[in-house]
Every structure is written in C-alpha cells, then in structure tokens.
Amino acid sequence: MNILVTGGAGYLGAVLVPALLGQGHKVTVVDNFMYGQTPLLDCCIDPNLTVVRGDVRDKSLIQQHIKKADAVLPMACLTGAPLCTQDPKGAESVILDAVKLILDLSTKNQMIIYPTTNSGYGVGEKGIHCTEKTPLRPVSLYGKLKVAAEKEILDSGKGITLRLATAFGVSPRMRIDLLVNDFTYRAVYDRFIVLFEAHFKRNFIHVRDVANVFLHSLNHFDKMKGEPYNVGLSDANLNKLELCAEIKRHVPEFYYVESKIGEDPDKRDYIVSNEKIEKAGFKPQVSLSAGIQELVKGYKIIKRNQYANV
C-alpha cells in the first residue's frame, strides 16, 4: 500500500515507519523534525520511503500527498500534558485542526488509523477497568484535544482509533520524559526517586507493540473500522510503587520512597481493559520487564536528558 504518515519521525513513528517498510509498503513521512533528532536516517536507503519536511497544517502540502495514499496514519502531535499546556493554540491546531483537515481531504475509500490515548479516561473508579464504553473524562488539555480528535475520526466513519496506554521502550527518536522511561533513567543514573501520589495507576505498552497494533489494524481494517480500541499490556495496570518495584528487579541499587507532601501534576488514575483489541486478534509481544531491561542497556548509550518533549 501507499501509506501517508504525518509525524512519522516522532517517538512512535520512528519505530512504525521501518516496520511498514519492512512489510513492503511505500511510505511518505511528513514531519517538521522539531526536536532536532535524526530518526529514519537508517531508512533513507529504502526506495519506498519518501521524506517531506513540512507542517501538517499546510493544506496544499497535505492535499498533494494524500491523493495517492491508501491509508493515512495521523501521528503528528504535540504529545503530553506539559507540552500542550506550554502551547495551547499550537496543540489545538496540530492535534485537532490537522485531523479535521485530513478528514476533509480524504475519501471514503482511504483507511485512517489514529493513535489517541487512554488518558481520556482521566480519573477512573477504584477496581473497575475502563472499557471503550466507559465515559471519557480527560483532565488535561492534551487529553481533551485527543478525545475531540478521536470523536471526529469515529463520527466520519472512515477510521479506527487506538487508545494507547503510556508507551515505553527505546526508539530512534528517544523520549526520556515518559513514565517508565523516566523512572528507569533515574534508577540507572540517580539511583533514587521520590514518588508523589504513588497510588495513581495507569496502563503501559511497549513502543514496538504500538507499531505492531498499527500493522494489525491495517491488515484487519474492514473488521475493525469505526471503533475505538484500548491498547495496552493487560498485566501492566500498575501504580508507581509497583512500577518502581519492577524496575528494582533490574537495577538492585535503586531506592524509592513515597512523599506524603506534594502533588503529581498528572492526575490520571485508572486501570484499563484491553479485552476488545485482544478479541480482535492482537496480543502485545514485549513485556514490561523486557522493556525495562532494554532501557537499562539503552541508557548505557544515552546520558543526556535532551530526549524529551519539554
């Protein structure tokens, strides 16, 4: 297929694009390379890759490249609550307006697969798993914009939305500011962490399994079309204390303690059911433990905290 990936040089895209090329697809990436990193360099030898340095809000640019696409993966995003808070207007235009533009320019025969976030669940009920039918109650601007963009996709009848758990793992466009990645980095280099509101829970998914779920959705689009799907590790609905205990298995010198004073600015607290995507035939392949082990090795290479969105 011909596949257009906006934001294809981001943390997720830098893993997904090589996977798409590996399956023989022709991939056009539109990205502004705003973080100054160099993902996809090792893919440039592939004649099926086209790289376009540009802005996803540029109507003429998107119109030019969407025409030949069999599938569109709108991954361009100002990702995360802190970044969206810093630039709310930019966040709205990139997350929501750019999706509306793609929907306006696409045809009913083009597949659209959109990565949203299960942070849309906001604060869940204790002991009750959030399913795709659970009311969405996002607590951050980022969550609210992703929920709004998801609604546009689903209302159009053109696409699939993937409510991704918090991603982790090594990517060519690395991010250390994601929770598992951040805690593991601190374990490796600081050897300690002070936790705020350590009982808050969330779900996790390895970045390679994010790529895999996009491949699965492309291959099963007709059966999955028009629906949202939670995507995470069913055995990784963890609070921060539980996550730190898992990291300590790989970094025995790691010390963590909970503070009774202070608040976590990220108020998300929920557990998630991934049963729907599992019934659709998708099963994650990379465990939390394997991902932490990968990160520990990766941090022998990375020792600069520039790999973040803010």
Q: Which domains, ranges and CATH numbers included, belong to the chain?
A: 2-168+204-231 (3.40.50.720)
Side chain identity at residue 43, one-letter code:
C
Q: What's the start-to-end Cα distance of the chain, in Å?
A: 35
pLDDT tens sequence across 209-266: 999 999 999 999 999 999 999 999 999 999 999 999 999 999 999 999 999 887 776 6
Contact 52, 29 (CB under 8 A): yes
3-class DSSP state of 259:
strand
The position carrying tokens 């390679």 is 208
DSSP assignment of 37-100:
--TTGGGTT-TTEEEEE--TT-HHHHHHHHTT-SEEEE-----SHHHHHH-HHHHHIIIIIHHH
Mean pLDDT of the chain, nearest integer: 95
For residue 306, the tally of other CB atoms under 10 A from its CB is 10
- Give the per-residue pLDDT at 265: 67
User: Which tokens in the block code for residue 188?
Assistant: 């490796």
Contact 48, 24 (CB under 8 A): yes
- Give the per-residue pLDDT at 306: 65
Contact 100, 152 (CB under 8 A): yes
Contact 171, 14 (CB under 8 A): yes
3-class DSSP state of 178:
coil
User: Which tokens in the block code for residue 233?
Assistant: 């590790």
Contacts of 294-297 with CB under 8 Å at 24 or more apart are 294/169, 294/170, 295/168, 295/169, 295/170, 295/180, 295/181, 295/184, 295/185, 295/188, 296/184, 296/188, 296/250, 296/251
Confidence band for 310, pLDDT divided at 50, 70 and 90: low
Confidence band for 204, pLDDT divided at 50, 70 and 90: very high
Side chain identity at residue 109, one-letter code:
N
What's the predicted TM-score (pTM) here?
Answer: 0.95
Q: How many residues does the chain have?
A: 310
CA distance 166 to 240: 13
pLDDT tens sequence across 58-105: 999 999 999 999 999 999 999 998 999 999 999 999 999 999 999 999
Backbone φ, ψ for residue 193 (5° rounding): -155, 145
